[in-house]
Chains A and B, each alone.
Chain A
Amino acid sequence: MTDPLESIDFAGDLDVALEFLKRTRWELRALRKVHVFRDRLRVFDVNGDYFEIRGIGYADADVVPLLRAVNTAFDPHTIQVPTDAEYKEFFTGRRHAWAEDRVM
């Protein structure tokens, strides 16, 4: 695993972390997946490049808005369940379906 393109330490300010993730849209290519560790969060693009937020993991309540900010397909009810695995992996490939807001 290479080093992250960019990383920050989460100090409890959710807005700072969300602002950091907004940069992924500009500095990464199309997002592909998220790895949520016990103590960090990594957002990957199709090239395998990633941004990392240290100090927040799947057990923290604030991880939910961060995952939603990058369009992660995850279950908010089970995200905090402990796992023996090194990390939990989720795709970020969901998009708006064509004409989903059509009105009949």
Chain B
Amino acid sequence: MIATPHAGPSLNEASDKDPFNNNCYGTTVDRAYKMVSLPVLDVNDFNERIIRGYEEGYGESQLPADLSVARSLIPAGTASLRDFSYIAPEIPEYIPANCTGCMDCVTECPDTAILGKVLGEDEWEAKLQAIPEADREMYREQWSKTKKYYDGGKKKAGGIGGMFQIIIDPSKCKGCAECVTVCDDDALKMVAKTDDVMLKARKSHRIFKDIGPSNDKYISGNLLIDMMLKEQTLIYTGGAGSCAGCGEGTALRMMCAAVGSKVGEDWGIVAATGCNTVYTSTYPYNPYLVPWTNSLFENAPTYAIGVRMRWDQMGWQKKPLWIVGGDGAMYDIGFQALSRMFASGMNIKVLVLDTQVYSNTGGQASTASFTGQNTKMSVHGSVFGGKQERRKEIAQIAMMHPRTYVAQTTAAHINHFYKSVLGAMEFDGPAIVACYTTCQPEHGVADNMAGEQARLAVDTRAFPMLIYDPRAGDTIKTRLSLMGNPNMKGDWFVNPKTNEEVTFIDFARSEGRFAKHFDKDGNPSQTLLAAKQDRLENWRLLQELAGLR
């Protein structure tokens, strides 16, 4: 296919519509289109002709159904060209004086819309001089002298402190306020998107990309949280079509970062149909910079077995292969395929995005749904109060497969999440990382609550964290670690501030999906009390397996 000649600038360049070129390839620095050596996919044609058609609003009605369109192939990273700056009324603003450089905001953003950079003070000062004088002070004021990078950096970088900046990409931010919520230092706040605010945001983001990459000398290899300062870890670009604040987006980004920190872009993903496939392949936008494929809901592990076998034949044994799927795909419809993959002993890793419901198809109950949950297939009515069955536990089932690495975690527990993924990577066999992911519309929580609700799910035993590593010993209790859960030896977590037990009822009280289980006086239903007992029994079983009871 020959690209239709276009007189104007490339989509990867500034234009009248995007004067600061915020919608372009590369996350912390600009990069060219990611080319592929496939005769059936002309990346330049795709990006300049097909994406332009969608960006300018005529794609669906006027693009010819030629081979390029009909194949539904999408080049890597095309979501970088997508503009979301119009969808939210507010955007975060950075307050450098309060920032400690913790990187929580960068890590927890579901949209790769908040980015960090660290530079030595001397190079930073030199680069500032290259910025037009009119913008120099405006941009200088957005940098921070943190104890972590400035004072700490002086000790290890020849007496020169590291200057640190957080920037918001206004073309990718959806205004969920997750970053503001996770910031414990009041270094971010939501502000209205006025013309002045957006001009400053767009201009600052452009200078941020022009100023070059972070200086590796200031990035600690021992701090997993610093991972996302490196461009090579930002494999999941902004521009995916997930809901504002989506918990899945954060989990996917973090998995990609952890894998990318080890092997860059030399790995691949087989995705099971679900929300994750919809928002990461909403034609023609793809946020992944690694090869990605989707066949059906139920067959991702089977498909991955085939990919693994072919890769191994090609001598690519070291190339990691991940499966991504939701609880519907992994607990239910693709469970047989998943179990078969575990039994194969093949070197394939699985990330389960567990929202406890079929989020994509309108909220049907899955076997991962909690007892009492109000879903489309377990509507809360006068006879039955939501789902009547108990939740199935994929982690325990996976542990009983031969030599399988198992982790259960959340993206809000950043170190535990990264350790789970890196542990899975290091394990030379099948591995599964089941991740609690908040689904705002189905759970009935606010856009900024993905992390808070994930933490509460762990604190209330709704979703205990664990790592089961077959290499750690010969018995289940030596292999299974419940580290990271509060009050590991007790039944419930007791809030040290109030001295009150925090139970599954408190979790349920905080989410709309359980709202009908509380009467006007706030009393929980019998079904919800049964759900609380179910969660306690599940927790006690894990304690017993881990040798804590």
Contact = CB atoms under 8 A, between A and B. Distances in A.
Contacts of A76: 521-522
Given A74-B509, A93-B510, A46 B190 contact: yes
Interface string A29-60: 11010000000000000111000000000000
A11 interface: no
B443 A83 contact: no
Given A93-B452, A102-B379, A85 B444 contact: no
B511 interface: yes
Nearest to A2: B186
Interface string A59-87: 00000000000000111111001011100
A77 B506 CA distance: 12
Interface in B494-538: 497-500, 505-506, 509-513, 515-516, 521-523
Nearest to A89: B497
Contacts of A74: 509, 522
Contact of B441 (A32, A77, A97): A97
Given A30-B177, A83-B499, A93-B453, A100 B446 contact: no
B190 A47 contact: yes
B394 to A, nearest CB: 23
A13 B516 CA distance: 30
Which of A93, A94, A100 has the largest count of B CB atoms less than 10 A from its CB? A93
B406 to A, nearest CB: 30
B452 A94 contact: no
B181 interface: yes
Contact of A30 (B447, B452, B498, B523): B447
B90 A100 contact: no
A95 B374 contact: no
B229 to A, nearest CB: 25
B189 interface: yes
A99 B362 contact: yes
B383 to A, nearest CB: 11
Contact of B374 (A32, A83, A94, A97): A97
A10 interface: no
B201 interface: no
B180 A100 contact: no
Contacts of A88: 498
B376 A99 contact: yes
A95 B181 contact: no
B445 interface: yes
B109 to A, nearest CB: 14
Nearest to A99: B363
Given A85-B498, A98-B442, A103-B379, A93 B448 contact: yes
Contacts of B511: 94, 97
Given A75-B522, A94-B511, A99-B362, A30 B446 contact: yes
Contacts of B227: none
Which of A47, A97, A103, A104 has the largest count of B CB atoms less than 10 A from its CB? A97
Which of B381, B446, B453, B505 has the largest count of A CB atoms less than 10 A from its CB? B446
B351 interface: no
Given A47-B190, A94-B511, 16 more contacts: A46-B180, A46-B448, A75-B522, A85-B497, A91-B510, A93-B445, A93-B453, A94-B446, A95-B445, A95-B446, A98-B442, A100-B374, A100-B515, A100-B516, A102-B379, A103-B379
5 contacts: A46-B189, A48-B189, A77-B522, A94-B511, A100-B516
Interface of B: 90, 177, 180-181, 186, 189-190, 362-363, 374, 376, 379, 381, 440-449, 452-453, 497-500, 505-506, 509-513, 515-516, 521-523
